[in-house]
Structure 1
């Protein structure tokens, strides 16, 4: 362990706190301050705005679907990566991190090229059968799933490595089937990793902007999510409504983290 003098420790603390303050706390605090400049009037006006209310409902719907899909596939892919050996395993693991390194706008454009109904690879066939993907909720859900894909997996994989598979093998040797082994052995061992992954995925899904803007078309009252409403209201000089909507998104994200912090079991020493 590196021996650090007391002045150096205080300097490191000041630098760390200052970094977080100027990058996170101050900007978020200004949003909160502007939201309550006129008391609760900004919030009530925002919630009574049909455009904002519809956008919030759409945002919740898209985020919930994205979280559920990423939860199912995230846990499945995590088990595949940790418990099985197969050709291309490292390639799959690398591809999972792709959403973290690719711009969401690029993701939206890629989905648009594949699924748009005019000259996409799949879109024309889907639209000919009455199923629209791009400029509708399916495309928005797909884009949100893409950007939040790694979050559940990267929380669950380390825990699966840590707990090992001894108990799972013992359960199978005693006659437990795959379903029983997963529900009674594997899932209890990874439940908190799953919870954290879901919370991070939810927060990321609620705040997605770039990819959703490309695939949704940003149609007012139809495919406009809360983040797109913030941009629209701010650019149309309705800043107070933009601040209030931003505050609601911040509030939901903070609430998720607080709930997890209270639900997390305390470690006993």
Structure 2
């Protein structure tokens, strides 16, 4: 018979139990250490370095960099593009989510796959596609030239590129919520005499509001931080077609590292704000699910 180990409270355990617990603890500590080490290398250390480089000469140079004409124009252009793209993709996402989430039809799976194309394709390729369509030698180039409309290396092309890469976020967040909620409440409202618009505002929208806000936050974060597609179609012209991410790259290439890191800090803080809002919405969604 195997020997028993008497515990202080009188319970008997086989001799291998303690060894197994020690092995599990060692494996757990190793995995946690590997995860923390990896995050330190790819996230924590680079982030700390950005903030250090931005503030190493003091607060006054940092603030001075944020008031330079090039930075202010880049920040303003980034904000304007986001203010245009986010509402457009919010409306599109709601419409797409409604069609997909409330209807079963042939080609539905294909439509969802097409909606996910911006997730799968490289932003640089997306920018190149826009150039091939709207550039001077592109498919629509001659028509645009005849109408004296410039898309590539201009503001319209930057909006198109940003709209493309941020296209799926709202729809992909709202579709699962619509499918989970179902149609019972909406049908009940219609039987009480509500029209489609009243059903949407009073029943559907309250049910999907957290998913919708989550998608809007992700869309805005991607729009303000987009680099690849915008870089291809904009030409990265200072004070004309230079967004904040492009300003960071250009300033670093011009050896204005202090300005580059200062702008990077601003983008980083915007990302932190997005993450905080995302966490708040996730908690509110969890609380709502528990209450229901």
Q: With structure 2 as the length reference, what TM-score do the two structures score? A: 0.85
In 1, the alpha carbon distance for the partners of 2:151 and 2:157 equals 5
1:89 maps onto 2:102 in alignment: no
1:35 to 44, 54, 72: 54
Query: Equivalent residue of 1:221, what SS?
Result: coil
Q: Where does residue 15 of structure 1 map in the other structure?
A: 34
Matches within 5 A, 1:35-54: 35-54=54-73
In 2, the alpha carbon distance for the partners of 1:6 and 1:164 equals 44
Query: Equivalent residue of 1:48, what SS?
Result: coil
Structure 1 stretch 8-17 or stretch 102-111: which is displaced more?
A: 8-17
Q: Where does residue 224 of structure 2 map in the other structure?
A: 206
Q: Where does residue 246 of structure 2 map in the other structure?
A: 228
Residue deviations 1:52-74 (CA, integer Å, cap 9, x gap): 11011001111221111111101
Residue deviations 1:82-106 (CA, integer Å, cap 9, x gap): 1012332111100111111111110
Cα distance, 1:228 vs structure 2: 0.9
Q: Where does residue 107 of structure 1 map in the other structure?
A: 126
In 2, the alpha carbon distance for the partners of 1:182 and 1:16 equals 44
Query: Equivalent residue of 1:219, what SS?
Result: coil
Residues 113, 41 of structure 1: alpha-carbon distance in 2 compared, 3 angstrom cutoff: same
Cα distance, 1:251 vs structure 2: 0.9
In 1, the alpha carbon distance for the partners of 2:259 and 2:206 equals 43
The structure with the larger Rg is: 2
In 1, the alpha carbon distance for the partners of 2:30 and 2:142 equals 60
Preserved CA contact (<8 Å) 1:42 1:244: no
In 1, the alpha carbon distance for the partners of 2:127 and 2:100 equals 27
Query: Equivalent residue of 2:66, what SS?
Result: helix
In 1, the alpha carbon distance for the partners of 2:158 and 2:188 equals 43
Long gaps (5+) in structure 1: none
Residues 251, 88 of structure 1: alpha-carbon distance in 2 compared, 3 angstrom cutoff: same
Preserved CA contact (<8 Å) 1:55 1:226: yes
In 2, the alpha carbon distance for the partners of 1:215 and 1:179 equals 39
Q: With structure 1 as the length reference, what TM-score do the two structures score? A: 0.92
In 1, the alpha carbon distance for the partners of 2:145 and 2:82 equals 24
Q: Where does residue 56 of structure 1 map in the other structure?
A: 75
Q: Where does residue 181 of structure 2 map in the other structure?
A: 163
Residue deviations 1:160-184 (CA, integer Å, cap 9, x gap): 1111111111112222111111111
Query: Equivalent residue of 1:154, what SS?
Result: helix
Structure 1 stretch 123-132 or stretch 227-236: which is displaced more?
A: 123-132
Which structure 1 residue ranges, 4+ long, deviate > 4 Å from structure 2? none
In 2, the alpha carbon distance for the partners of 1:211 and 1:123 equals 19
In 2, the alpha carbon distance for the partners of 1:7 and 1:153 equals 43
In 1, the alpha carbon distance for the partners of 2:209 and 2:248 equals 35
Cα distance, 1:14 vs structure 2: 2.5
Q: Where does residue 174 of structure 1 map in the other structure?
A: 192
Q: Where does residue 169 of structure 2 map in the other structure?
A: 151
1:217 maps onto 2:208 in alignment: no
Instruction: Report the aligned-residue RMSD.
Output: 2.0
Q: Where does residue 13 of structure 2 map in the other structure?
A: none
Structure 1 stretch 94-103 or stretch 235-244: which is displaced more?
A: 94-103
Long gaps (5+) in structure 2: 1-20
